[in-house]
Amino acid sequence: MKKSTFLIVSAVAAFLLTTVDVPARKMKADQLVALHLKSIGENLVWKNRVAQGLGTMDIRVGGQGKLGGPAMLLAEADKIRTSFNFGHTQYPQETLIRNGDKVDVAYISPGVRSQLGTALWDNFPRLAQEGLYGGVLSTDWALLDLRKKRAKVRYRGLKKFEEKELHELEYKPKKGVDYRIRLYFEPETYRHVASSYRLSVPGGMGRGLVDIAGDGRTGGGAGAGGATAPGGGGFSGPQYNTRPGPSDGPANQNRINLVETFSDFKQVDGLTLPHLYRITLNVDAQSGFVGHWEIKIDRMSHNRKIAARAFAIK
C-alpha cells in the first residue's frame, strides 16, 4: 500500500471511530461525554429555558401523604430556580434558587426547611453551584463545559442502576466534596437519565436531617392527625429524627442518598430534553425517610424574558 493511501485510510478509520458507538469496555470518559452532548442536539447553548408543569410530593417512609400543585424550572446562564407550589399550610412550597455562586433554599415555615430543602442546604450544598442539580434542564449543566468546571470525570463501565444497565461516570468537582457523585447514561442513546449523590455522616456530627416540625419530635411530627392536602390527599409530617443524641456513637452512620432521574424525552427547539424530572431522598437513619418530588413538564420554551427577581436571593 502506498504511503498516501495508507494515510487516507487511517484518517477515515479515525473519523469513523469518533462517530460510531464505542464498545463499553473501551469507552473513555471524554468519549462518553461527547456522545452524551451529541444526544441532546446541535445547538446546546440557549439564553434561557422555562419549563412548567405539575409538581408532586410523595412521602413513603418516615411520614405519609401526597401533595400536588403547579411547578416550574427556570434556567438562565449560571442561574436556576425550581419551585413547587403546594398551597398547604404546613408545606406551602419548595424552592431552590442558584444565582452564580450563591444558593438559597426557601424555608417552609420560619427557620424550618423541608426534608428535601435540608438535604440540599446542609448535605449537598455544591450540587447547584456545580451545575449538577437539574441535569440537562440546567443551562449550566456540568458536562457542557468540563474545562470551565475543572472537574475530573472517570468512566466506570456499565453498571446496574435501578435494575438497568447504564454507563456510569464518576464526577469529582475541582473543590472536593465529602459525598460520592455518579452520573448515569443510557447505552443506546447516551442520554443522561440519572444522578446519584451519597453521603455517610457519623452519628453526633449534627448533619442529619430534622423533622418537618423542626422540634425534634419523633411521634407524629408536624401535621400529625392527617391534614388535608389540595385535591383531598392526606398529609402528615415525617416520623423520624436524626439529630444527634446521647446514644449516637462514632460507629453510627447516617446514610443520605439523593437521586435525580430524568425520563420522557421529547424534542423542543431542536433539543432532546426530559419532561419528567424526579428527585428521591432516602435517609437511612433511625426510622428512616423516603420521599419523592417530581415535575411532569407539559410546557417548555427557550429565550423568553425572565424577570431578574426570579433568581433574586435575599
Length reported for the chain: 314
C-alpha angle with apex 107: 212 to 132, nearest 5 degrees? Answer: 100
Please say if the pLDDT value at position 45 is more than 60: yes
Q: Domain ranges in the chain?
A: 35-311
Residue 38 has a pLDDT of 96
Rounded-to-integer distance, Cα 71 and Cα 55, Å: 5
Give SS3 for 11. Answer: helix
CA trace torsion 264, 51, 112, 60 (10° rounding): -20
Q: Give the model's pLDDT for residue 224.
A: 28
Please list, residue by residue across 145-184, b when 16 or more beta carbons sit within 10 angstroms of its beta carbon and e when fewer do: eeeebebebebeebeebeeeebbbbebebeeebebebbbb
Higher pLDDT, 7 or 201: 201
Angle at 80 between CA 50 and CA 164, to 5 degrees: 85
Span 160-173, average pLDDT: 96
Please indicate whether residue 105 or residue 241 has the higher confidence score (pLDDT). Answer: 105
Tell me the C-alpha distance between 178 and 192, whole Å: 23
| Whole-number pLDDT of residue 44 | 83
105-114, 136-145, 239-248, range with the lowest pLDDT: 239-248
pLDDT bin (cut points 50, 70, 90) of residue 106 is: very high
Which DSSP string corresponds to 139-180?
TT-GGG-HHHHT-EEEEEEEEEETTEEEEEEEEE-SS--SSE
Phi, psi of 38 (to 5 degrees): -65, -35
| Cα radius of gyration (the chain) | 21
Does the reported pTM lie above 0.85?
A: no
- Give the rounded percent of residues in the chain with a pLDDT score beyond 70: 75
Q: How many CB atoms are located within 10 Å of the residue 226 CB?
A: 12
**Which region among 17-31, 198-212, 253-267 has the lowest average model confidence (pLDDT)?**
198-212
* Domain 35-311, CATH among 1.10.3470, 2.50.20, 3.40.720, 2.60.40: 2.50.20
What's phi and psi for 239, nearest 5 deg? -110, 60
Higher pLDDT, 166 or 223: 166
